[in-house]
Amino acid sequence: MLDNSRRRIPGVIYLVIGGLCALVWATSRDSSTLVNDGFLWAAILLGVVGLFAITSGWRMKLNEQDALVAAQGAVGFPVGHASAQQVWHGLRSRPTWRVLIYSAEEPPRRRALVLVDAVNGVGVGTTFLPSSRNLPARKLWIGFATNVEGALVVDDGARRALVERGTSLLPAGITEVLGEFVEGDVVEVRDASGLVVARGIALCDADVLRAVRGKRTTDLPADVAHEAIHRDDLLVLI
């Protein structure tokens, strides 16, 4: 569990240095040629940065298990599978748990996305997602019945294509390859913020995808699959 309360330490350091700059400016600006208004502007800038760091240094009070319990109480239906992911919310990066919940039926008939404040445990919002009752058994296996061996981080364009149009994942949309996996392993697909948007079966080894990530289909070697994950082997989770 990440805790960004340690931001307060550099925040205090910035304030101390800024205070020293202001003191030097106030006491020496008329007697020293080395001291000018740059010291004052430095003090102001350091003060602003320091205050921001201190006020955004949240101390998390909810762990992943607490977030799962809080989210289950918000949906109003029996819960089967649930997974939580920590994200940062807002300009001041308030820590938040994003919890994806599936109902207890086999296959699940209902699902919801719940945001839980990791500082005070208050629910930030709940979104009930379209029913997944028509998912084929293969995609349910990909999503919930097998281990994840790695992750592919994608850009915003690839994320929209997967979520809104249900396309395959192409190497051109991959920005980072995490972990070590081989062709046929199940991997996560994450967006730039770290949110898991899908799971799917990799059509290439991790090392191959690292070598071709970001490349257009026309630039791929002849012996490399044109898709990192085919849409028939991909389950969108949001």
The domain ranges of the chain are 4-55, 64-129, 137-236
**Res. 150: pLDDT tops 80:** yes
Mean pLDDT, range 70-75, rounded to an integer: 82
Distance of CA 173 to the CA centre of its chain: 17
First-to-final CA distance of the chain? 22
Asked if residues 175 and 213 have their Cβ atoms less than 8 Å apart, the reply is yes
Tokens describing residue 206: 């991790």
What's the pLDDT at 130?
59
- Amino acid in position 110: R
Query: pTM to 2 decimals?
Result: 0.52
User: CA 190 to CA 8: how far, in whole Å?
Assistant: 29
3-state class (DSSP) for residue 125: strand
User: CA 101 to CA 112: how far, in whole Å?
Assistant: 5
**Res. 1: pLDDT tops 60:** no
Asked if residues 47 and 18 have their Cβ atoms less than 8 Å apart, the reply is yes
Class at the top of the CATH hierarchy for domain 64-129: alpha beta
Mean pLDDT, range 62-84, rounded to an integer: 82
For the chain, percent helix, then strand, then coil, each to nearest 5? 40, 25, 35
What's the pLDDT at 70?
84
- C-alpha to C-alpha distances, 16 to 19, 27, 235, nearest whole angstrom: 5, 17, 51
Q: What fold does the segment set 137-236 form as a domain?
A: 2.30.130
Q: Which residues contact 10 (CB under 8 A, 6 or more apart)?
A: 50, 53
Please name the helix (run of DSSP H) or strand (run of DSSP E) that holds residue 48, with its range, or none. Answer: helix 37-55
What's the pLDDT at 208?
94
- C-alpha to C-alpha distances, 207 to 21, 117, 170, 210, 225, nearest whole angstrom: 50, 37, 15, 5, 13
pLDDT (tens digit per residue) in 165-174? 989 999 999 9
pLDDT (tens digit per residue) in 118-137? 888 777 776 666 555 566 77
Tokens describing residue 164: 């809104």
DSSP 168: P
Mean pLDDT, range 111-121, rounded to an integer: 82
186-190 and 150-154 strand pairing: parallel
What's the pLDDT at 196?
83
**Res. 52: pLDDT tops 70:** yes
- Closest-CA residue to 100 (of 87, 115, 88): 115
